[in-house]
Amino acid sequence: MLDIDIIDRHDTAKAVRTFHRDGFVAVSGLFTAEQLARMQDGARRVIAEQTSAIALEQANRGFARYSFGSQIHHPEWAILVDVPEVLAILDGIWGPDYHCTGGGGDYSLPGARIQGLHSDLPDFLKDPLGQVTVRDLPTPFIVMNVTMIDFTVANGAIRFVPGTQRSRAPIPSLDEEPEWMRNQQLCAPAGTAIIRDVRCWHGGTANRSDQIRPMTSVGYYAGWMRSTHRERPMPTEVYRALSPRGQQLCAAITELDATRQPVEVCA
């Protein structure tokens, strides 16, 4: 199990330092009991819909392991967009220039096996001289995951290899992975936010419990980062319920921009 501090939401400076050092940071106290319950209800609803339609053997992340896919059109995910203390941390990392890419997350059911370590961002630079890779850039893409239940070793908590967000070393396969990497689970209470540079090596672990282990997410790109991937747009009514800052962050993924004109959806 990872030996980390779960940082209080008010300690922005420590959260930013930890993020830059480890490639991720866990933050507590961001959500009220009512907000967490609402997000948990939304996650349970989508899980029920997806698992009734998709057999365990056909899950898109391996046996009994599912990605939520794009869910930012649901108000339960929109809650995550403009959490003030999270935006303060992102401001500390990037300054004010960044934008929301959408939301989703993943979940594993009992019986899910360990997942290989991976990065969520391929090397899109493709330098023909091999001199520069995506690992050499400042953080381009940050995801905030939120634990919907208490994450434990038994129920398949996500694991991280700290400090690998800038590493050029090859990511080991599951067969090659040393035992200590398999035991880097981030165990944390429900409602904990895990703010991570998606390049940091991570992977799911085996769910040996009788619980479904879900975590929801919202993503942000640095101001200079763009993608042509299309995500399901945020409905106008959900967009209008956001704070002014939230609307600014989500202008590129809503059905309508500020002038009520269609805009291209970015992910």
Q: Is residue 216 part of a domain?
A: yes
Query: Which CATH number characterizes residue 104's domain?
Result: 2.60.120.620
Task: Give the per-residue SS3 of 173-191.
Answer: CCCCCCHHHHCCECCECCC
Q: Please, which residues bridge with residue 142 across strands?
A: 197, 220
Query: Could you count the other beta carbons within 10 Å of the beta carbon of residue 119?
Result: 19
Residue 211 belongs to a domain: yes
The answer to whether residue 181 sits within a structural domain is yes
pLDDT tens for 171-195 read: 999 999 999 999 999 999 999 999 9
The pLDDT assigned to 227 comes to 76
**Residue 244 falls inside a structural domain:** no
Average pLDDT over the chain, rounded to whole? 94
In a domain, 57, yes or no: yes
Q: Report the predicted TM-score, pTM, of the whole model to 2 decimal places.
A: 0.94
Residue 178 counted as domain residue: yes
With 70 as the cut, is the pLDDT of residue 127 above it?
Answer: yes
Check pLDDT > 90 for residue 257.
no
Write the burial class of residue 31 (CB in 10 Å: 0-12 exposed, 13-18 middle, 19+ buried). buried
Does 256 fall in a domain? no
pLDDT band at 261; cut points 50, 70, 90: very low
Banded model confidence at residue 266, pLDDT cuts 50, 70, 90: very low
pLDDT of 228 over the 80 cut: no
Tell me the per-residue pLDDT of 18-43, one tens digit each, with 9 for 90 and over. Answer: 999 999 999 999 999 999 999 999 99
Mean pLDDT, to the nearest integer, of 61-65?
Answer: 97
The total of structural domains in the chain comes to 1
Could you tell me if residue 170 is inside a domain? yes
Note down the domain range covering 195.
Answer: 6-224
Q: Which of 81-95, 142-156, 163-177, 217-231 has the lowest mean pLDDT?
A: 217-231
